[in-house]
């Protein structure tokens, strides 16, 4: 069950433990996601050299893989890191940025899942459909499809790989083992800033570092993203000030704010 | 003719169509230019792998090439993308960041122009002089020369390659086919934030995606940059808050603000 | 002697001369450090291609080397740049980000120091201990050790290589030739934003460009970081707004603010 208490317990654990989260991510969002992890209370490290990723993942409590601005040498590094993470029991979260837009990206995601199934896969509807092999059209890195269009694909991927799957959208859908949770927190401003999807993925990494229940960790992260976004939207004058206020909200997030704002549609089996 | 109405019409088209703008740009500004494109209403994608740039440019309505933080493998990817863009009629805007500072950069720009002439070339005076083969001294990535020093070079490049050329400065000069437009909007704070020239180039990409007149698209983008900068400068306490307010101003820009502030010195033939 | 006047004189020189600072740094902080250098009054350039770093460093007044997000090809470029800097008398500042966390990073730092000793080496306690060959544990890129634990290592490195060594922490320790200066300015918020250590290193580059006394340049930079941080903390609501206010404070920094806030524990020989 995802409740205000379960969200808050994880936030408190992250703040107390400052888990090291190893990110192999894209150039556009490295700074953004590092700052979001720091604001939440985690300790981010960005490292992609194939010569060091095994060592680095050995120090970490979670591994974040994100295929934006991908090249083949980065896929290799991600594979090496993923294998090392799997061997050491470090949970992986995978973000299939732009899957479906190009063959390179779609294949990279499928290969990474085959190498070491992630604990959580998070994408927008187009990306999840593309990973599942559906006929989605990914337009660049933005979804052209609604969340529910990817519901069956999300369940199929979850069932096939044993992972939680998050389909991000105005209402986020989290599925695992046939169970669904919907998180309705958020603001349209999250879509007006680059890398907020990637930030959600990075925060899932922090929650995985303190919570072995992948579906709960994913739902908690999406709730915290949405609530911090709502708080920031309340004071921002546009997408520029929103970015700063979002980090402030994340750093200052209280149990009372979670309790007042959490909008989770209760766990239910797939219909 | 560049008028408040012509600027506003393009802004409204960008917001309505959210054109996909494919960027192969430098590491310093990727986040900044992606956020500026989003704030304006366009949909940015950053992708530089030679394995995927042809596919990606095929989805896009404009291609932005920027040679900051260049290496030879990036030049190759830019050439492949430029050829694909040309074949599909996707307009290109090229930013010769630091041309004249190093042989690598000067040669890369000339090769990219030879491979596929851009619709728009935008640089500061030093860079435009260097591309034209003049004796400019580029000091790092900042211009040491006034806009008018590059006027003849801009016309020569425009005449040789059939492109619009923008020389950025306190008053921006846009030339094409012997015609000149000057845009006098802006604020010194634009020079105190990294990547604002690159941001202008990215925004030109968005305007090219909705307007086939390259000189008008370029002038409209420079006007919007300058006006958003003026609005942000009115409320910022320094270059840090200016960045956030600039994005807010871009996202909220109204026809009335353009009408009240636009400072274009009318189109005139070269004297 | 580090005094408010000596700090201010350097700030005024940087603003008057706008020295070009060449950075070969990591992907996470490129934008952040470029903006901090611009806010201070310097002129940053980021360039890492082995084909151009010699030319670029020849235009610069200081070279900043930072090994975050390192790969072997970047080490090669840093070596080429370091040799060129040494040959031309351009001062180098080196940031051993994550030294001790992986073999790649520790070895890269040692090789860079062997190729061309920097004027200043700046790291946290874990990193300085790792570079010196001590038994520090570097947890990702954040220090797990107090500043004084690295005091002997800092002196050993300074004595061995003739450089100033900065150990960053709540109170920064600057050592050279057996002399110590401690700078007690700062705010915990500096630790809640990614790349503020890297920013300190970049600012040291700007101070080295105008001051041949490496220990003084380093101490001045740390003081300016700390004071701008204190000013920003006074108005920020969290780490997001802090980033913007920090740049504003850096750009607006006055002699009176330095005079009112500087906390330097006077130069003293090692006890």
Q: In the B/C pair of chains, how many CB contacts fall below 8 A?
A: 102
Residue B102, min C-alpha distance to chain C (Å): 6
pLDDT, tens digit, for every residue of A243-254? 999 999 999 999
C72–A51: do the CB atoms touch at under 8 Å?
yes
Cα radius of gyration rounded to whole Å, chain A: 17
C30–B69: do the CB atoms touch at under 8 Å?
yes
What's the gap between Cα A242 and its chain centre? 20
Longest dimension (CA), chain A: 47
Residues of A in contact with C244 (CB under 8 A): 244
Cα radius of gyration rounded to whole Å, chain B: 17
Residue B262 DSSP class: -
Among B44, B50, B36, CA closest to B63: B44
Residues of A in contact with C28 (CB under 8 A): 30-31, 34, 46
Q: Give the best residue of C235, C237, C247, C249 to mutate against chain B (max B CB count within 10 A).
A: C247
Q: How far is CA A24 from CA A47, A93, B208, in A?
A: 6, 11, 34
Whether residue B142 is predicted with pLDDT greater than 90 in this model: the reply is: no
Q: Give the best residue of A20, A29, A30 to mutate against chain C (max C CB count within 10 A).
A: A30
**pLDDT, averaged across chain B:** 95
3-state secondary structure of C232: helix
Nearest CA in chain A to C29: A31
Task: Check: CB of residue B71 under 8 Å from CB of residue C51.
Answer: yes
Q: How far is CA C115 from CA A204, B228, C132, C167, in A?
A: 42, 47, 16, 22
Predicted pLDDT of residue C50: 97
Residues of A in contact with B239 (CB under 8 A): none
**pLDDT, averaged across chain C:** 95
Whether residue C271 is predicted with pLDDT greater than 80 in this model: the reply is: no
> Across the beta sheet with C164-168, what order do the strands follow?
C43-46, C20-24, C62-66, C92-95, C120-124, C164-168, C172-176, C179-183, C264-269
Among B205, A27, B150, A65, CA closest to C46: A27
In this complex, the residue of B22, B31, B60 whose CB is nearest that of residue A29 is B31
Task: Check: CB of residue C14 under 8 Å from CB of residue C206.
Answer: yes
pLDDT bucket at B1, cuts 50 / 70 / 90: confident
**pLDDT, averaged across chain A:** 95
Q: How far is CA A205 from CA A117, A244, C241, in A?
A: 14, 21, 24
Residue B132, min C-alpha distance to chain A (Å): 32
Select the more confidently predicted residue: C165 or A269: C165
pLDDT bucket at C1, cuts 50 / 70 / 90: confident
Cβ burial B34-72 (10 Å sphere, 16+ → b, else e): bbbbbbbbbbbbbbbbbbbbbbbbebbbbbbbbbbbbbe
pTM of the predicted protein model? 0.96
In this complex, the residue of C29, C101, C244 whose CB is nearest that of residue A59 is C101
Predicted pLDDT of residue A137: 56
Nearest CA in chain B to A105: B52
Chains that touch B (3 or more CB pairs under 8 A): A, C
Predicted pLDDT of residue A134: 64
CATH of the domain at A179: 3.40.1190.20
Distance between CA A128 and CA C2 in Å, rounded?
58
Task: Check: CB of residue B240 under 8 Å from CB of residue B200.
Answer: no
What tokens appear for A245 in the block?
């206020």
A252–C244: do the CB atoms touch at under 8 Å?
no
Q: Give me the residues of chain A with pLDDT under 70, please.
A: 134-145, 267-271
Distance between CA A107 and CA A96 in Å, rounded?
10
Distance between CA A227 and CA A253 in Å, rounded?
9
Summarize the confidence of residues B193-221 as an average pLDDT.
Answer: 98
pLDDT bucket at B140, cuts 50 / 70 / 90: low
Q: From chain A, which residues contact B within 8 Å (Cβ)? A: 26-29, 31-32, 68-72, 98, 101-105, 139-142, 192-195, 236-241, 243-244
Nearest CA in chain A to B49: A71
Predicted pLDDT of residue B146: 83
Residues of B in contact with C55 (CB under 8 A): 101-104
C38–B193: do the CB atoms touch at under 8 Å?
yes
Select the more confidently predicted residue: C156 or A143: C156
Residues of C in contact with B198 (CB under 8 A): none
Q: What are phi and psi of A184, to 5 degrees?
A: -105, 10
With a pLDDT cut of 70, the percent of chain B lying above it is 94
Q: Return the half-sphere exposure (C-beta side, CA atoms, 13 A cut-off) of residue C162.
A: 5
Distance between CA B49 and CA B55 in Å, rounded?
11
pLDDT, tens digit, for every residue of C25-50? 999 999 999 999 999 999 999 999 99
Q: What are phi and psi of C217, to 5 degrees?
A: -55, -45
Measured on CA atoms in the order B133, B135, B140, B143, is the torsion positive or negative? negative
Predicted pLDDT of residue B137: 56
ipTM over 0.85: yes
Whether residue B37 is predicted with pLDDT greater than 80 in this model: the reply is: yes
B251–A240: do the CB atoms touch at under 8 Å?
yes
Which regions of chain C does DSSP assign to beta strands (E)?
Answer: 20-24, 43-46, 62-66, 92-95, 120-124, 164-168, 172-176, 179-183, 264-269
Q: What are phi and psi of A113, to 5 degrees?
A: -65, -40
Q: Give the best residue of A27, A31, A66, A144 to mutate against chain B (max B CB count within 10 A).
A: A27
pLDDT, tens digit, for every residue of B81-93? 999 999 999 999 9
In this complex, the residue of B27, B35, B51 whose CB is nearest that of residue A193 is B35
In this complex, the residue of B34, B48, B244 whose CB is nearest that of residue A194 is B34
In this complex, the residue of C55, C245, C251 whose CB is nearest that of residue B102 is C55
In this complex, the residue of C32, C104, C238 whose CB is nearest that of residue A31 is C32
B35–A239: do the CB atoms touch at under 8 Å?
yes
Predicted pLDDT of residue A82: 98
C194–A246: do the CB atoms touch at under 8 Å?
no
Q: From chain A, which residues contact C within 8 Å (Cβ)? A: 20, 22, 27, 30-31, 34-35, 38-39, 43-49, 51-52, 55-56, 59-60, 243-252
The 3-class SS string of chain A reads: CCCHHHHHHHHHHHHHHCCEEEEECCCCCHHHHHHHHHHHCCEEEECCCCCCHHHHHHHCCEEEEECCCCCHHHHHHHHHHHHHHHHHCCCEEEECCCECCEHHHHHHHHHHHHHCCCCEEEEEHHHHHHHHCCCCCCECCECCCCHHHHHHHHHHHHHHHCCEEEEECCCEEEEECCEEEEECCCCHHHHHCCCHHHHHHHHHHHHHCCCCCHHHHHHHHHHHHHHHHHHHHCCCCCHHHHHHHHHHHHHHCCHHHHHHHCCEEEEEECC
Q: What's the structural domain count of chain C?
A: 1
In this complex, the residue of B31, B105, B194 whose CB is nearest that of residue C44 is B194
CB atoms within 10 A of CB B17: 15
Summarize the confidence of residues B244-253 as an average pLDDT.
Answer: 98
pLDDT, tens digit, for every residue of B17-29? 999 999 999 999 9
CB atoms within 10 A of CB C266: 10
Residues of A in contact with B56 (CB under 8 A): 101-102, 140
In this complex, the residue of B30, B39, B55 whose CB is nearest that of residue A27 is B30
3-state secondary structure of C139: strand
Summarize the confidence of residues B186-200 as an average pLDDT.
Answer: 98
Chains that touch C (3 or more CB pairs under 8 A): A, B
Chains that touch A (3 or more CB pairs under 8 A): B, C
Summarize the confidence of residues B253-261 as an average pLDDT.
Answer: 98
pLDDT, tens digit, for every residue of A49-58? 999 999 999 9
B245–A243: do the CB atoms touch at under 8 Å?
no
In this complex, the residue of A46, A49, A60 whose CB is nearest that of residue C71 is A49
- Residue the block writes with tokens 């006098």: B184
Residues of A in contact with C76 (CB under 8 A): none
pLDDT, tens digit, for every residue of C98-115? 999 999 999 999 999 999
Angle at alpha carbon of residue A230, lines to A196 and A127, rounded to 5°: 30
pLDDT, tens digit, for every residue of C179-214? 999 999 999 999 999 999 999 999 999 999 999 999
Among A127, A115, A131, CA closest to A78: A115
Q: How far is CA A153 from CA A150, A157, B153, C26, in A?
A: 5, 6, 56, 37
A238–B247: do the CB atoms touch at under 8 Å?
yes
Residues of B in contact with C246 (CB under 8 A): 240
Q: What are phi and psi of B152, to 5 degrees?
A: -65, -40
Among B124, B120, B110, CA closest to B158: B120
Residue A30, min C-alpha distance to chain B (Å): 9
Predicted pLDDT of residue A98: 96
In this complex, the residue of A35, A51, A59 whose CB is nearest that of residue C239 is A35
Predicted pLDDT of residue C268: 64
Summarize the confidence of residues C219-239 as an average pLDDT.
Answer: 98
Distance between CA B175 and CA B268 in Å, rounded?
10
Q: From chain C, which residues contact B within 8 Å (Cβ)? A: 20, 22, 27, 30-31, 34-35, 38-39, 43-49, 51-52, 55-56, 59-60, 243-252
Predicted pLDDT of residue B134: 63
pLDDT, tens digit, for every residue of C62-98? 999 999 999 999 999 999 999 999 999 999 999 999 9
With a pLDDT cut of 90, the percent of chain A lying above it is 92
Residue C241, min C-alpha distance to chain B (Å): 8
Residues of the domain holding A84: 4-269
pLDDT, tens digit, for every residue of A83-93? 999 999 999 99
pLDDT, tens digit, for every residue of C245-255? 999 999 999 99
Which residues contact residue B59 at a Cβ distance below 8 angstroms, ignoring those fewer than 6 apart?
A101, A139, A140, B20, B22, B45
């Amino acid at each position: 069950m995802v409740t205000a208490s379960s969200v808050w317990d994880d936030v408190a654990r992250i703040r107390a433990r400052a888990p090291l989260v190893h990110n192999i991510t894209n150039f556009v969002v490295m700074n953004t996601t590092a700052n979001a992890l720091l604001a939440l209370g985690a300790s981010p490290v960005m490292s992609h050299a194939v010569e060091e990723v095994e060592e680095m993942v050995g120090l970490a409590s979670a591994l974040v893989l994100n295929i934006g601005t991908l090249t083949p040498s980065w896929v290799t590094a991600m594979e090496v890191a993923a294998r090392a993470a799997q061997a050491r029991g470090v949970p992986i979260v995978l973000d299939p940025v732009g899957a479906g837009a190009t063959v390179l990206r779609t294949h990279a995601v499928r290969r990474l899942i085959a190498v070491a199934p992630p604990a959580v896969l998070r994408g927008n509807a187009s990306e999840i459909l593309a990973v599942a092999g559906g006929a989605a059209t990914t337009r660049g890195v933005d979804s052209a499809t609604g969340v529910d269009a990817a519901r069956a694909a999300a369940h199929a991927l979850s069932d096939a790989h044993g992972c939680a799957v998050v389909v991000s959208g105005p209402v986020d859908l989290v599925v695992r083992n046939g169970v669904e949770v919907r998180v309705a927190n958020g603001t349209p401003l999250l879509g007006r800033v680059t890398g907020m999807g990637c930030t959600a993925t990075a925060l899932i990494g922090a929650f995985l570092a303190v919570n072995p229940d992948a579906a709960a960790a994913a739902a908690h992260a999406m709730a915290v993203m949405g609530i911090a976004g709502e708080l920031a939207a309340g004071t921002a004058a546009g997408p520029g000030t929103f970015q700063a206020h979002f980090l402030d909200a994340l750093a200052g997030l209280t149990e009372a704010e979670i309790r007042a704002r959490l909008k989770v549609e209760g766990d239910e089996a797939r219909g």
